[in-house]
Amino acid sequence: MKTVIARPGFVLRWFAGPLIWAAHFLVVYGSESLACTRGGSHALVVIAATIVTLGALAATTALAVRRSRASGQGTAFMDTVAVALGFLSITAVLAMVLPAFLLSACMDVA
Amino acid sequence: MTPRRAITSVSVPVLLSGCSDVQSALAPMGPDASRIFTLAGILFAGAAVVMLIVLAALWIAMRGSPDARRGLATDRAVIVGGIAFPTVTLIALLGYGVWVMRANITPVDAAAVQIEVVGEQWWWRVVYRDAEGRRIESANEIRIPVGREVEFRLTSADVIHSFWVPNLAGKLDMFPGRTTTLRLSADRPGVYRGQCAEYCGGAHALMAMEVVAVPEADFAVWLATEAMPAPAPVGETDKRGQTLFLAAGCGACHAIRGTSANGVIGPDLTRVGARRFIAAATLPTSRETLARVIVDGQHIKPGNGMPPFRIFSPGELDALSGYLAGLK
Amino acid sequence: MTKAKAATPSGEFPHKLPRPKDELARLKEVWALPKGWRILSAVNNTVIGYFYIATAFGFFVLAGILALLMRTQLAVPDNDFIGQETYNQIFTMHGTVMMFLFAVPAVEAMGVLLLPQMLGARDLPFPRLGAFAFWAYLVGGSVFFCTLFVGMAPSGGWFMYPPLSGERFSPGVGADFWLLGIGFIEISAIAGAIEIIVGVLRTRAPGMSLDKMPIFAWTMLILAGMIVFAFPAIILATILLELERAFGWPFFIAERGGDALLWQHLFWFFGHPEVYIIFLPAAGMVSMIVPAMTGTTLVGHRLIVVALIATGFFSFGLWVHHMFTTGIPALSLGFFSAASMAVSIPSGIQVFAWIATLAAGRLKLTAASLFVLGFLFVFTLGGLTGVMVAMVPFDWQAHDTYFVVAHFHYVLVGGMVFPLFAAFYYWAPAFSRRPLSERLGKWAFWLIFLGFNVAFFPMHITGLIGMPRRVYTYPAGLGWDTLNLISTFGAFVVAGGVLLILVDLARNLRPTLQDSAGNVWKAGTLEWMENHVYGARSVPHVDSREPLWTHPTMTDDVHEGRYYLPGSVTGARETIVTSPVEGAPQCVMRLSGPGWAHVLAAVFTAAFFLLLTVKLVTAAIVSGVLAVVMILAWMWDSDPASAGTVDIGGGIRLPTYVSGPTHPAWWAMIVLILVAGALYLSYVFAYLYLWTVSPQGWPSADALPDAPGPAAAAGLLVASGLALAAASRVLSRKDRFRGALAALVAFGVITLVAALALDIWTQWRGGLRPEASGYAAMVYANAVLQGQIVAAIVVMAGFMLARLAAGRLDGSRRVVFDNLAILWWYAVGQGLVGLALTHGFPRLVG
């Protein structure tokens, strides 16, 4: 039986989807409060962050697809889990930017 | 009547309409509340449909034909029912919800009147401004003109409160050190009850208020009257009442414009007799209830800032409460 | 004798029969429980698990009684059954006790009881840590609950929003009991989480790779991971609020540069994941019960794992949906609304996977099955109302009304209590001489299910027609009277059902560790083998998700000792440590046995916090010191020297001493670092948040202390790190340089302390006082956080030096040093980040 000592890399590899989602979330939400207090275009940040995020998610998910076909039996399971997590994260990111089409930053809930 | 029918005859009216409508999100009386009501209707209908789908799936899983059960017992069924279906419906809902939110927060026109409301433990300080920007203060009863958007500027003097008049709009919290802004309007004249919706300690349960929507012309007249000093007492008892009010030190906390009473701690009493309720919409205004608040306020609203005043003889108490009830 | 093939890759059993005569007797002797009242010193996961569940269930009953008192008060309008202040205390305690003293401990308790059995381990990896967590919780929780009887209970709501919970509006000790008591119980929860993470990842049976791990273990792993990242936020919040209450540091006071909303962000960053922390393990129980009751494997197993992981992550992006009415900018609300939608998809996956499994098999309609079906109904309904309140405009109406009360009771009672009762009925035969009564169980189910819906369904309407939460009374005539009366009636019906369960437990639950009723449901997972005090006689090789189905004779083979480690090879309690992904055997770890030090440590830790609450400072300090002494006493024996290599059977020889990432303690320490890191990140968030709210409170560059101060502090930190690196190298090169090692460690610790002291002194000399403003308080809070890590390092370094002097630490027996080093490296890093934040950030933005 081959022993795989779990390295931090595994966490990044298997949970890349949700971790990238979290980073996108942080940037998009955090930059709004910055934009509201310090100025600057929030919409631009959202667009740029989302393009980068979707690119990264597509890349990591594609990589996970390849790995799930190639890797040994022990980690294959987790690589297919990573694929599904990637797709769920893409959905979540798309849902996340939907409100940005309808609302602009810093609108008061009057 | 069989027992079964007895149950339905009690419960159906309760479920459908057995509620009085003065503090209800299900009886919208303004555009904001109406949009949310429509949204709620769609959400309830949608939830009912989804619930039925899930229950039907559960039924088929346990009692269905072998073919149906085989179809259900696959990863594909999980993906369709658990991922595809919710993703599509939820994204559609999200778009609609955000659209309603935008409609509710977008101002329709310039606000007809701006009203500051300060949440205090456990009452509402209400401040209008006249044309020159002078404060016209009142408490626990807010008048607004019908059909015009009104802007509330909300803040708090102590802890967090929440301003909520469900017939007219959703709620908005009131923070010390922050001002939040809520715009709403009423479609029809009427009295709409509101209540503090953020737990604010002690008598949170008794921190209510009323919004009285009146035609715009009436509103202007009312505001002009409200801006004037309190009416001078007429008659011996009322005069005695005023003397007692001033001599007992009530003015240290309460203001009655036009007299030397100018306290800012408690509610302004300049036109307390004209308000429908006292003690933050807890008791109907009358001589008797005013007397009770003076003597026994700690039982009506435990922990409130006003100590019991048991120094008055029955006659004095009557004169004092009579004077206050006459402030219209 | 069976001729079945073994589950090992070779198909051969690791051991031949018959086993040596005294092997089993020795195993029993090594694992023997203390007799009589001394059972309190036991550390076995089964015993502690029992205590743990019983205590949690006790708090459930107590908090349930509080609920009945509230429902009685609200049965009719203008009721004067309970007064205002008492009611406010009761509803605060109901929420607090249900969340912190019932729900989280109950799911952790289920993990403590079930995980080792399910994973094929003899015990959890740190038995005394688990026992410590339990005792701390029992003592702390009991005292906390009793404050209610003396009228000293908190009355600020379970969410404790400042300014209401601040010194000015809650001057009594009630709020302090909440902050210190709950803060302390959270620490116990974190201890439990560390135990669970390491247990699940490192003590699985050989061959149990992640894909063969039972779903319940997956949920416990994710639950524990979520605790690691969520609880630090509330711990930080309680630290800040207690500093404000005790010393006037104005973190939440708007007029002095603080902000009330900061608390809400921190609280809900914990509070929302908390809901899933409670729900996920319950879902895990359902995923175990459904296959057993239908006799078929779980459909969509992989998708469920995906759903669990996704829930674990997405649930951290929802916290603001508890703050939709706070006036936060609309787009932010939109983001959180979207994330709230996203998190419901994983729940949808699970619901349909369970339905699919029901379709694949035939459900036996047992009491446990009924509770599972009830769960599906109630939880789905709660999920649907959850989608409603995730819609921002709808929430503007529903928030803080009885609609929300209905919603989260559907989610929490549906999502956690129903599965827990199902679990009672399902797993009782594994740990009791008799199963629970099916008849009583079914009666209990119908009472609870119907009563629950009668009580809580009407509340959806009560809320929408205007009734706010947390009101101790309401006037007649608003249309709420009948609905409230119905709800009260339903609540008492639920109570009747719970009473039936209590009767059933009293009549039929006969705890045993020898002759349990056994696998009455014909389930397929390892906890259905024998549950002796040492777990199973031998540790099987696992090659499928339901090993008892794949290998029908496994229970007997295991019992006869044909699998790994059929006795004690070192003469001590031991368990097999396996690799986290494949479950490949790596070493045999010796476990500590019963003792009193950890019990006393728990009692003194609880006493420290509680005495601090009532401001008996001297007594508190004495207790605190005693607690540390007890912890050190318990740790003294915990790192035994190597006993060479041992044979566990099947030709597998394993070391008995390892260090570095192979040792479970390394993993525990890494998890602890994650906790500390999450705590510090919460602090960085709080600091930056306060800055966005009131940037005018931040000083300009010339008002800050001069650069040489922080530069010198940074230099000291670097020196400390260098000393540590040198010490590590010296330790690796034989034992000749013990004096040099001790000197390096001492020097490193002194520089670490000096860096902290210098930084505080620099700020103080610059005229900054913590009570002056929100900014100043934040600067000193950084020192508080660094201070607690440094204090831990001082104690651990002293401990390490003592072991060095006693000859219990050398170049190979070095786990104590390695653990110290991990925390130390972290402290150096956090110190440098802290300096950059408090001195650099204001210069950057100023």
Enumerate residues 151 to 190 of chain B having a beta carbon within 8 A of any beta carbon in chain A: 151, 172, 180-183
Using the Cβ of C581 and the Cβ atoms of chain A, whether some distance falls under 8 Å is answered with: yes
* Local mean pLDDT, 10-residue blocks, chain B (328 residues): 36 42 94 96 96 96 94 94 93 93 86 93 95 92 95 96 97 95 94 96 96 96 94 93 95 95 95 94 94 94 93 95 94
Total Cβ atoms within 10 A of residue C804: 20
Listed residue (C589, C827, C670) closest to C225, CA to CA: C670
Listed residue (C434, C335, C425, C329) closest to C372, CA to CA: C425
Total Cβ atoms within 10 A of residue C703: 12
The total number of residues shown for chain A amounts to 110
The segments of chain A whose pLDDT lies below 50 read: 1-3
**8-state DSSP, C541:** P
pLDDT tens profile C764-788: 999 999 999 999 999 999 999 999 9
Q: Which of C88, C156, C255 sits opposite B177 (nearest CB)?
A: C255
Nearest CA in chain B to A98: B95
Give the CA radius of gyration of chain B: 26
- Mean pLDDT on C2-12: 78
Position A71 scores a pLDDT of 61
* CA dist., res. C441 & res. C445, Å (int): 6
Position B16 scores a pLDDT of 39
- Mean pLDDT on C174-193: 90
Position C676 scores a pLDDT of 97
CB contact under 8 A, B181 and A108: yes
Position C2 scores a pLDDT of 45
CB contact under 8 A, A108 and C314: no
pLDDT tens profile C184-206: 888 889 999 999 999 999 999 99
Cβ neighbors of C372 (< 8 A, separation 6 or more) are C286, C289, C290, C293, C354, C418, C419, C422
DSSP letters of C269-300? Answer: HHHHHHHHHHHHHHHHHHHHHHHHHHTSPPTT
* CA dist., res. C274 & res. C239, Å (int): 19
Position C810 scores a pLDDT of 87
Residue C673 Ramachandran class (φ > 0 left, ψ -120 to 50 alpha, else beta): alpha
Pairing of strands C645-649, C652-655: antiparallel
Contact C686, C262 (CB under 8 A): yes
CB contact under 8 A, A109 and C327: yes
Position C735 scores a pLDDT of 62
- Mean pLDDT on C740-757: 96
Distance between B311 CA and the closest CA of chain C, angstroms: 27
CB contact under 8 A, B90 and C88: no
Using the Cβ of A75 and the Cβ atoms of chain C, whether some distance falls under 8 Å is answered with: yes
pLDDT tens profile C32-79: 999 999 999 999 999 999 999 999 999 999 999 999 999 999 999 999
* CA dist., res. C728 & res. C688, Å (int): 36
The tokens 């203060």 sit on which residue? B137
CB burial readout C161-184, b (16+ within 10 A) else e: bbbbbbbebbeebbbbbbbbbbbb
Measured in degrees and rounded to the nearest 5, phi and psi for residue C626 equal -60, -40
Position A2 scores a pLDDT of 46
Cβ neighbors of C383 (< 8 A, separation 6 or more) are C344, C347, C348, C351, C411
Q: Which of C330, C334, C695 sits opposite A37 (nearest CB)?
A: C695
Using the Cβ of A24 and the Cβ atoms of chain C, whether some distance falls under 8 Å is answered with: no
Pairing of strands B277-278, B208-214: unpaired
Kindly report which listed range (B195-209, C256-270, C388-402, C687-701) carries the lowest average pLDDT score: C687-701
Position A107 scores a pLDDT of 73
Contact C485, C76 (CB under 8 A): yes
Residues of A with CB under 8 A from a CB of B: 88, 91, 94-95, 98-99, 102-103, 107-110
Distance between A25 CA and the closest CA of chain C, angstroms: 8
Position A13 scores a pLDDT of 85
Cβ neighbors of B263 (< 8 A, separation 6 or more) are B250, B251, B252, B253, B254, B255
Enumerate residues 157 to 186 of chain B having a beta carbon within 8 A of any beta carbon in chain C: 158-160, 162, 164, 166, 169-173, 175-178, 180-181
Residues in chain C closer than 8 A to B172 (CB atoms): 325, 327, 396
* CA dist., res. C449 & res. B34, Å (int): 35
Position B73 scores a pLDDT of 94
Using the Cβ of B139 and the Cβ atoms of chain C, whether some distance falls under 8 Å is answered with: no
Measured in degrees and rounded to the nearest 5, phi and psi for residue A82 equal -60, -35
Listed residue (A49, A92, B160) closest to C166, CA to CA: B160
CB contact under 8 A, C582 and A74: yes
Cβ neighbors of C729 (< 8 A, separation 6 or more) are none
* CA dist., res. B88 & res. A94, Å (int): 12
Using the Cβ of A19 and the Cβ atoms of chain C, whether some distance falls under 8 Å is answered with: yes
Of all residues in chain C, what percent carry a pLDDT higher than 70?
A: 99
Enter the tokens of residue C181.
Answer: 């008591």
Q: Which of B87, B94, B107 sits opposite A110 (nearest CB)?
A: B107
Residues in chain A closer than 8 A to C695 (CB atoms): 37
